[in-house]
Amino acid sequence: MILSVGIDIADVSRFRAAIERHPRMLERLFTPLEREGLEKKADGASSMAARFSAKEAALKALGCGWGKGVGWTDVEILSAQNGAPVVVLHAMAKEIFLSRGGGRIHVSMTHDGGNAAAVIIIESGE
């Protein structure tokens, strides 16, 4: 059963400009594993913006938004062996997910035409 859905969109050029102005922002937004994977991408800014959108969408689906004890690195967007994105929750984000009866998280990301977007679907553990 679907418990919740979250969606987000980001402007890639705006995201690129922000990380150029504040390079340390990447350390606040992404875990070391995420940054390692993103450095290998041909268009890093587009991939980073898509993953940032996935984090935002996850926070919306969790119903908590950013803050309230949940940090950016509490939601980690990694790649499976086949390249598919995978959501890994940590700390308060994981606690909220489990307390709401979460069992599985689906994520879809895209970037095209200067935008990056993501959708998160949280299913119950039934």
pLDDT at 42: 63
Residue 50 pLDDT > 80, yes or no?
yes
Q: Which residues contact 33 (CB under 8 A, 6 or more apart)?
A: 76, 78
At residue 110, does pLDDT exceed 70? yes
Using CA atoms, how far apart are residues 28 and 90, in angstroms rounded to an integer?
15
Q: Measured at the alpha carbon of residue 80, what is the angle toward residues 2 and 26, in degrees to the nearest 5?
A: 90
SS (H, E, C) 42-70: CCHHHHHHHHHHHHHHHHHHHCCCCECCE
Global pTM?
Answer: 0.92
Which tokens in the block code for residue 80? 């499976």
**Cα 101 to Cα 114: distance, rounded to the nearest angstrom:** 36
Kindly tell me the sign of the dihedral angle through the C-alpha atoms of 89, 35, 108, 71.
Answer: positive
- Given this structure, which CATH class describes domain 2-124? alpha beta
Residue 18: pLDDT over 90: yes
